[in-house]
């Protein structure tokens, strides 16, 4: 791999075919392995929550969803998100967004997606884009569903068993950089905190909310690290690095957060032996793809499939834009988000990957614990 796309990456782990998943539409792939999955995060895994908010950050229009069996749903992708892939592999139905009308009764039982585009660990992150659910609000939204889940379960004991067996996936941090720290005209954080101090600030806030979820009975957590943001089309288009390179300074910043998150996972596992916390090495997995694109069938690594401006990364995918035709060969769908092809790889690696990908266990192993 040439130096133009270099990120710090772990030794290549050969991904095994995703054709079975590609053929899957609305049908789950196997028997139910966990009772539910509860998802908290940002636009990487939002499946429609922002549709019902007064926000600029929306994806409920064509060509988003061009390769998804339901069409545009609010997913920030041409097709499936990583969460959809995990639902397929775990035998779960696709999760309803928290804000979807009529979300009650048995619709809650397979889990809920609380993720919100532009949302971050810090409440103020993404504020300029309009309404969004921050991490704090997403946790409150989950707690709003607990009473009904308790009733559906028939009491506290059954609810406790249900929650303890369910999987929690949390994908946070990207917006706290892209839509906060890296926007000095709008946010003072880069003046007030060094990159190390900011990473610690995020991790301290994150820890409190993770423990809030633990306190209500959730016991299986997947905490995803931040990918190499310096390589996304939006950052490449900023002009802060040569045209053929990632912004190494940005990648170094998120590496500080990721290193702290992995250490936090070790600490949480030590301090809470009745639970299991998993670190998802998104940075390493996506770095592997960026450094070895041909191994995975990718030919376009630096520009979005849909968008405007330099690298199709200055203005995101607008309504009724004409996207690229070779979507399966693109790593990035728009200025910020990966294509379905990448999500299929990341989801499979999360499910069956080795400790370099998922530490200390992968999602398949987590489901069996």
Catalytic residues: 43, 334, 337
Grouping H, G, I as helix, E, B as strand and the rest as coil, residue 279 is: strand
Residue 7 above 50 pLDDT? no
pLDDT at residue 31, as a whole number: 67
Query: What confidence tier does 195 reach under pLDDT thresholds 50, 70, 90?
Result: very high
Does the reported pTM lie above 0.85? yes
pLDDT at residue 104, as a whole number: 87
pLDDT at residue 15, as a whole number: 32
pLDDT in tens, 96-155: 999 999 898 889 999 999 999 999 999 999 999 999 999 999 999 999 999 999 999 998
As a whole number, the mean pLDDT across the chain is 91
Mean pLDDT computed over 287-316: 92
pLDDT in tens, 227-247: 999 999 999 998 787 777 899
Query: What confidence tier does 311 reach under pLDDT thresholds 50, 70, 90?
Result: confident
Residue 198 above 50 pLDDT? yes
Residue 95 above 90 pLDDT? yes
Residue 14 above 50 pLDDT? no
Mean pLDDT computed over 298-313: 90
- pLDDT over 70 percentage in the chain: 92
| The 37-41 sheet, strands edge to edge | 37-41, 167-171, 220-224, 276-280, 358-359
**Short-list 311, 244, 310, 331, CA closest to 4:** 244
CB 254 within 8 A of CB 8: no
CB 1 within 8 A of CB 291: yes
pLDDT at residue 30, as a whole number: 55
Grouping H, G, I as helix, E, B as strand and the rest as coil, residue 341 is: helix
């Amino acid at each position: 791999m040439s130096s133009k796309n270099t990120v710090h990456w772990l030794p290549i782990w050969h991904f095994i075919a995703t054709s079975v998943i590609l053929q899957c539409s609305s049908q789950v792939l196997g028997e139910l392995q966990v009772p539910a999955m509860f998802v908290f995060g940002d636009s990487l895994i939002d499946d429609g929550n922002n549709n019902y908010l007064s926000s600029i950050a929306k994806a409920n229009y064509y060509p988003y969803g061009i390769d998804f069996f339901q069409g545009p749903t609010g997913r920030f992708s041409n097709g499936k998100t990583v969460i959809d892939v995990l639902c397929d592999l775990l035998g779960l139905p696709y999760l309803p967004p928290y804000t979807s009308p009529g979300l009650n009764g048995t619709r809650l039982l397979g889990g809920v997606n609380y993720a919100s585009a532009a949302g971050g660990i810090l409440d103020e992150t993404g504020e300029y884009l309009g309404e969004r659910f921050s991490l704090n609000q997403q946790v409150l939204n989950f707690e709003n569903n607990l009473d009904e889940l308790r009733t559906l379960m028939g009491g506290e004991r059954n609810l406790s068993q249900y929650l303890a067996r369910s999987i929690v996936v949390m994908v946070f941090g990207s917006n706290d950089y892209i839509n906060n720290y890296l926007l000095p005209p709008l946010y003072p954080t880069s003046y007030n905190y060094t990159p190390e101090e900011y990473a610690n600030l995020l991790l301290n806030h994150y820890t409190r909310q993770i423990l809030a979820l633990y306190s209500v009975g959730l016991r299986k957590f997947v905490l995803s690290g931040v990918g190499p943001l310096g390589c996304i089309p939006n950052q490449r288009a900023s002009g802060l690095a040569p045209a053929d390179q990632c912004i190494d300074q940005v990648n170094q910043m998120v590496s500080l957060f990721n290193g702290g998150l992995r250490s936090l996972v070790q600490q949480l596992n030590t301090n809470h032996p009745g639970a299991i916390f998993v670190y998802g090495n998104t940075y390493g997995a996506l770095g592997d793809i960026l450094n070895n694109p041909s191994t995975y069938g990718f030919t376009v690594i630096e520009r979005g499939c849909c968008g405007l401006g330099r690298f199709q990364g200055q203005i995101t995918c607008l309504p009724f834009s004409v996207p690229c035709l070779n979507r399966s060969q693109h790593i990035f769908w728009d200025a910020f988000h990966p294509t379905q092809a990448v999500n299929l790889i990341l989801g499979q690696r999360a499910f069956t990957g080795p400790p370099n990908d998922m530490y200390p266990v992968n999602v398949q192993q987590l489901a069996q614990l």
